């Protein structure tokens, strides 16, 4: 794939359209598939503070995984748009009783004032959505750069130190190859409803 704005835009549109075309039953089956592929992974079992997300625009739904985390006594956090720093995220503690309100994109998120937050570097595990990925663990997001800016500190440690980043996706979102930019923060791996794609060099 060539790294032109038009080609990247076309790929985003294609994948987002394909995600949105899934039926509720297909989405539920995919969500359970991702949960089942993660639940026995050592990096998941060891993690105590885990960030996930609420699905939007056909993204694979991590709700079964969130419910599993609660059942196992793990602390769950959701990304919240930083009120001051441009295109960066805070992570707010999330429970079944958390009061939510929509952000500027219409996505529900916890209130910044009423819930404890945790800095990005202090998370054990962050599972994030994506639009497309390749088998080498490269990710294409929505283009806002929220996660790349939030975890840019990892570039100095070659992606090893700090929170472990895992992308979640439908298997059909895998493409042959994605271009890598200097500001792209590497993922530990990607988990889909059908397979795990983990970087061997990550620890």
Q: Report the 10 Å Cβ neighbour count for 29.
A: 12
Residues of the chain under the 70 pLDDT cut: 1-3, 83-87, 113-114, 157-161, 200-203
- The tens digit of pLDDT for each residue in 40-63 reads 999 999 999 999 999 999 999 999
Q: Which residue has the tokens 């748009």?
A: 81
Strands 125-129 and 49-51: parallel
Q: Measure CA of the first residue to CA of the last residue in the chain; give whole Å.
A: 29
Q: CA 107, CA 93: separation in Å to the nearest integer? A: 16
Helices 24-38 & 63-71 angle (0-180, nearest 10) = 40
Position 197 scores a pLDDT of: 93
CB distance 151 to 82 below 8 Å = no
For the chain, domain boundaries? 5-198
Position 3 scores a pLDDT of: 64
Contacts of 12 (CB under 8 A, 6+ apart): 131, 132, 140, 142, 143
Q: Report the 10 Å Cβ neighbour count for 130.
A: 21
Position 158 scores a pLDDT of: 52
- The tens digit of pLDDT for each residue in 15-42 reads 999 999 999 999 999 999 999 999 999 9
The binding site for substrate comprises 54, 59
Instruction: Give strand pairing partners of 118.
Output: 91
Position 201 scores a pLDDT of: 46
Position 81 scores a pLDDT of: 79
Global pTM? 0.89
The binding site comprises 8-12, 54, 59, 139-147
The binding site for ATP comprises 8-12, 139-147
């Amino acid at each position: 794939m060539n790294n032109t704005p038009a080609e990247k835009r076309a790929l985003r549109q294609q994948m987002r359209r394909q995600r949105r075309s899934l039926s509720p039953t297909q989405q539920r089956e995919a969500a359970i598939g991702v949960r089942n592929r993660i639940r026995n992974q050592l990096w998941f079992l060891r993690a105590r503070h885990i960030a996930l997300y609420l699905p939007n625009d056909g993204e694979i739904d991590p709700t079964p995984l969130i419910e599993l985390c609660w059942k196992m006594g793990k602390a769950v956090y959701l990304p919240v748009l930083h009120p001051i720093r441009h295109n960066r995220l805070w992570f707010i503690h999330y429970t079944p009783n958390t009061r939510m309100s929509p952000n500027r994109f219409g996505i529900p998120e916890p209130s910044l004032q009423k819930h404890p937050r945790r800095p990005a570097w202090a998370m054990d595990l962050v599972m994030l959505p994506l639009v497309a990925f390749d088998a080498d663990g490269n990710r294409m997001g929505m283009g806002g750069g929220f996660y790349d800016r939030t975890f840019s500190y990892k570039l100095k440690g070659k992606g090893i130190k700090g929170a472990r980043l895992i992308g979640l996706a439908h298997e059909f979102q895998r493409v042959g190859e994605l271009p890598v930019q200097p500001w792209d923060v590497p993922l530990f791996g990607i988990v889909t409803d059908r397979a795990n794609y983990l970087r061997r060099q990550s620890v």
